[in-house]
């Protein structure tokens, strides 16, 4: 149906007020509902669709349930060990990239490493320049990264990046000794240097520096 031009908006509004019907008014004038709306807006008539012209008061929305805290989200994803010294392994997401193996948790738009979150939940924020390290990697065979998923607070300690390197080298030496080697092999030094993104010379300097 062609929409007649030069519609009498006052007449549309009067009809709408009488019938309180968008559809009925639009049909009566052979115009679109958008035209009726336009007329109502132009004359400041609230659109109600109901006789009496009173807007229904909006129902108050039920309050949203509060978001779970990091603590509430975190601990259900931890599998505690029956062994009194056993590792508590993270059951949530795990970063499986080459340098990964660590559990992670997303919270408040941040992606946190699970063992760091465990530290923060237990001891508070991690001091600037410090890293959360594991002391339980000695229980795993060399190359097994399972311990990176461990979030047991008393398996964690704070250290600097250099401490972390010395710690790894120390453990590497223990592994080498256990394997019957007298010292760290050049290949192992290469590997560790690559792991920490430094040169083998820098790594050796760090190992020899006093702790």
CB of 109 to Zn ion, least distance (A): 28
193 binds Zn ion (CB under 5 A): no
Task: Tell me whether residue 15 or residue 152 sits nearer to Zn ion (CB atom).
Answer: 152
Give me the count of residues in the chain.
Answer: 211
What is the bridge-based pairing of β-strands 89-90 and 110-113? Answer: unpaired
156 binds Zn ion (CB under 5 A): no
H helix runs in the chain, sequence order: 9-19, 22-29, 33-42, 70-74, 114-123, 161-178, 186-196, 200-208
Task: Tell me whether residue 136 or residue 184 sits nearer to Zn ion (CB atom).
Answer: 136
13 binds Zn ion (CB under 5 A): no
Site string for Zn ion, 80-99 (x = CB under 5 A): -------x------------
112 binds Zn ion (CB under 5 A): no
136 binds Zn ion (CB under 5 A): yes
Query: How many residues sit in the footprint of Zn ion (CB under 5 A)?
Result: 5
State how far the alpha carbon of 98 is from the alpha carbons of 95, 102, 120, 194, 195, in Å.
9, 11, 25, 12, 10
Q: ∠ CA(62), CA(63), CA(69), 5° rounding?
A: 145
Which residues in this chain contact Zn ion in the complex, by CB under 5 A? 87, 136, 150, 152, 155
């Amino acid at each position: 149906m062609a929409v007649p031009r030069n519609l009498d908006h006052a007449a549309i509004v009067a009809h709408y007020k009488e019938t309180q019907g968008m559809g009925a008014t639009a049909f009566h004038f052979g115009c679109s509902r958008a035209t009726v709306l336009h007329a109502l807006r132009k004359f400041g008539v609230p659109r109600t669709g109901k006789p009496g012209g009173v807007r229904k008061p909006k129902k108050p929305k039920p309050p949203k349930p509060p978001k779970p805290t990091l603590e509430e989200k975190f601990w259900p994803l931890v599998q505690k060990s029956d062994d009194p010294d056993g590792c508590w392994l993270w059951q949530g997401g795990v970063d499986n990239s080459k340098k990964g193996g660590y559990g992670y948790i997303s919270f408040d738009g941040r992606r946190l490493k699970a063992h760091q979150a465990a530290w923060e939940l237990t001891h508070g924020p991690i001091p600037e320049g410090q890293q959360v390290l594991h002391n339980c990697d000695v229980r795993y065979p060399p190359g097994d990264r399972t311990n990176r998923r461990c979030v047991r607070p008393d398996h964690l300690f704070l250290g600097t990046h250099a401490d972390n390197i010395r710690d790894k080298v120390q453990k590497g030496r223990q592994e080498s000794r256990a394997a019957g080697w007298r010292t760290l092999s050049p290949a192992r030094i290469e590997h560790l240097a690559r792991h920490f993104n430094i040169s083998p010379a820098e790594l050796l300097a760090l190992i020899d520096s006093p702790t």
